[in-house]
Chain A
Amino acid sequence: MRTLRWLIGLLLIGLFMYVNFFVYTGSIYFKLINVILFSSLFVLYRVIIGPTAADRIVAVDILGILIIGMLALLGLNYEQSFFMDVGLIWALLSFMASLALAKVLEGRSLDD
């Protein structure tokens, strides 16, 4: 059963990589953005079925970091610099959200 699940996951990742890099015809930046979006599906899987609350907080923290990289690639594709403004704000807000969620998890109040 464990081997079967491992094989299904490997097949899924291989199929996605083949379709993304050899069948899909777009610019190279869109191919890389697709890889990042596919990894954020894994992050959402961890958010939904994480066994404890700490797993969900880790996954939400990592999702913000992935989105910053994706916004940089998007701005490089469209030759616009305002995408990075969104990325900077997103970095600071994601940091504050992680701090607040960790503090609630620890059992203290927010103005402690």
Chain B
Amino acid sequence: MIRETLGMALILIGVMFDFLGVLGLVRLPDVYNRLQAATKCVTFGSAGILLGVFILQGFNNFGFKVLLGIVFIFLTSPVAAHIIARAAHRSGVKLTKGSIVDQYQEDRELKE
């Protein structure tokens, strides 16, 4: 009883995080802001859904596959986000108008 309630609550929160993260992907004004909102729907959106499925299923073969999926997502997604942000900055995408500081650009100018 407690296990089913906890699993369904985690799945519901995960789906809500997915939806709100995608809404941020549509609404925000800049590549970096969009990336920051969209990475939220990885770390608690889909990983929350997978954790809820693991709590519902227990330690059978489906549960172990879901645990392996959580490990893969947590290992690969921050690396991909970092590399996309770095490539966008180096390919010359401008920041939005209201932004105040760009420390990566200052650091690159200091090195040259």
Chain A residues within 8 Å of B, Cβ to Cβ? 28, 32, 35-36, 38-40, 42-43, 45-46, 52-55, 57-59, 61-62, 65-66, 68-69, 72-73, 75-76, 81, 84-85, 87-88, 91-92, 95, 98-99, 102-103, 105-107
Interface centre among B46, B65, B88 (most CB of A within 10 A): B46
Chain B residues within 8 Å of A, Cβ to Cβ? 8, 11-12, 14-15, 18-19, 21-23, 25-26, 31, 34-35, 38, 41-42, 45-46, 49-50, 53, 56-57, 60-62, 65-66, 68-69, 72-73, 76-77, 79-81, 83-84, 86-88, 90-91, 93
User: Binding site of B, secondary structure by majority: helix, strand, loop or mixed?
Assistant: helix
The distance in angstroms between the C-alpha atoms of A10 and B12, with both chains bound, is 21
In the complex where A58-B34, A76-B56 touch, is A36 in contact with B15 (Cβ < 8 A)? yes
With CB as the reference atom, state the residue of chain A lying closest to B94: A52
The distance in angstroms between the C-alpha atoms of A72 and B84, with both chains bound, is 26
Nearest CB of chain B from residue A47's CB, rounded to whole Å: 10
- Name B72's contact: one of A46, A92, A99 (CB within 8 Å): A92
